[in-house]
């Protein structure tokens, strides 16, 4: 039987799919148990220990785990706040989709601000799989700090201030003097709602801090899952100014029609 290039390509694609499925299984089990034993896991997956070691090596390179003698342990950040755990569990697939879209926006030599929030955390976890060269992340979020600190391939700048237990971030209203030292060209915001008027936060301190950040950045990327769309929260961060770009999941025609109107009237773009 003659082996054609198309047949080889299909075999290679099948191997890639199998590897992705194995690695997803490995991460799911690691998140549940915290530690994995290579021999036991290889038997569960029906692969050789050589193959399993290759999977673990790749997952370690991406920052998902740390290899140790006899297996691997979890190296991902610990999401230790119960309220944040609940946020993470909402719209998970949408947040992963948004994260992948947002990660494609980031380019070589970018200096970006990353806001606190569950969707921005998914974004950073997606970003550090393969970060652009000479990327700098500025953040005030403890979760984002922990995530970025696990890779040496991203420069990390931490904004200080008063620690907010309920949001697990630092707030300081002297942000302008801090950011004036850096040429931040993109800001990625987590929000609690958007509508025709603008975008919202859950409390006045968060809204003021986010507004100050928006005031010094040329391009604002608002990350919003479907549960936040055309819904108001407690405090308006800022009305639409025309330099915002929405990063959204795939949506139905009805709601996209509303966004088309928003694009025309407020000059908001969809990234």
* 77 pLDDT above the threshold of 60: no
Q: Is the pLDDT of residue 87 over 70?
A: no
Q: CATH 3.40.50.1360 residue ranges in the chain? A: 82-270
φ and ψ of 246, to 5 deg: -90, 130
pLDDT tens-digit map of 155-193: 999 998 898 887 888 988 788 788 888 999 999 999 999
DSSP 106-122: --TT-EEEE-SSHHHHH
The segment(s) of the chain belonging to CATH 1.10.10.10 are 5-74
What is the three-state SS of 137-182? EEECEHHHHHHHCCCCCEEEEECCCEEECCCCEEECCCHHHHHCCC
Q: CB–CB of 212/220 below 8 Å?
A: no
pLDDT category, 20, cuts 50, 70, 90? confident
> pLDDT digits over 120-136, tens only?
999 998 998 889 999 99
Domain range 5-74, CATH class: mainly alpha
- What pLDDT shows up at residue 3? 44
Contact 190, 224 (CB under 8 A): no
Question: 263 pLDDT exceeds 60?
Answer: yes
pLDDT over 70 (residue 5): no
Domain 82-270 has CATH 3.30.420.40: no
Cite the beta strand spans of the chain per DSSP E.
35-37, 65-68, 71-74, 111-114, 135-139, 154-158, 162-164, 169-171, 186-190, 193-194, 198-201, 219-223, 235-239, 244-247, 269-270
Q: Give the range among 20-29, 127-136, 183-192, 261-270 with minimum mean pLDDT.
A: 20-29
* pLDDT bucket at 10, cuts 50 / 70 / 90: very low
Which burial class, exposed, middle or buried, applies to 140 when counting CB atoms under 10 A from its CB (0-12, 13-18, 19+)? buried
Q: CA distances (Å), 239 to each of 102, 153, 197, in order? A: 22, 35, 6
- pLDDT the model gives residue 84: 59
């Amino acid at each position: 039987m003659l082996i054609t290039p198309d047949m080889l390509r299909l075999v290679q694609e099948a191997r890639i799919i199998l590897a992705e499925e194995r690695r997803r299984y490995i991460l799911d089990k690691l998140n549940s148990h915290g530690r994995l034993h290579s021999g036991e896991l290889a038997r569960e997956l029906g692969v050789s220990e050589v193959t399993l070691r290759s999977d673990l090596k790749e997952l370690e390179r991406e920052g998902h785990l740390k290899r140790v003698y006899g297996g691997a342990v979890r190296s991902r950040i610990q999401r230790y706040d119960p309220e944040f755990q609940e946020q993470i569990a909402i719209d998970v697939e949408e947040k992963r989709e948004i994260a992948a879209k947002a990660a494609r926006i980031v380019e070589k030599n970018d200096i970006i601000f990353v806001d606190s929030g569950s969707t921005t955390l998914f974004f950073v976890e997606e970003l550090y799989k393969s970060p652009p060269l000479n990327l700098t992340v500025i953040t005030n979020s403890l979760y984002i700090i922990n995530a970025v600190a696990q890779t040496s391939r991203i420069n990390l700048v931490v904004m200080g201030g008063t620690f907010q237990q309920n949001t697990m971030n630092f707030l300081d209203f002297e942000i302008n003097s801090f950011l004036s030292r850096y040429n931040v060209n993109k800001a990625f915001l987590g929000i609690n709602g958007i509508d025709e008027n603008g975008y919202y936060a859950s409390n006045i301190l968060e809204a003021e801090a986010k507004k100050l950040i928006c005031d010094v950045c040329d391009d604002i990327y608002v990350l919003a899952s479907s549960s936040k769309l055309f819904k108001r929260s407690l405090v308006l961060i800022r009305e639409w100014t025309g330099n915002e770009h929405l990063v959204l999941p795939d949506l139905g025609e009805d709601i996209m029609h509303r966004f088309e109107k928003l694009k025309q009237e407020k000059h908001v773009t969809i990234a």
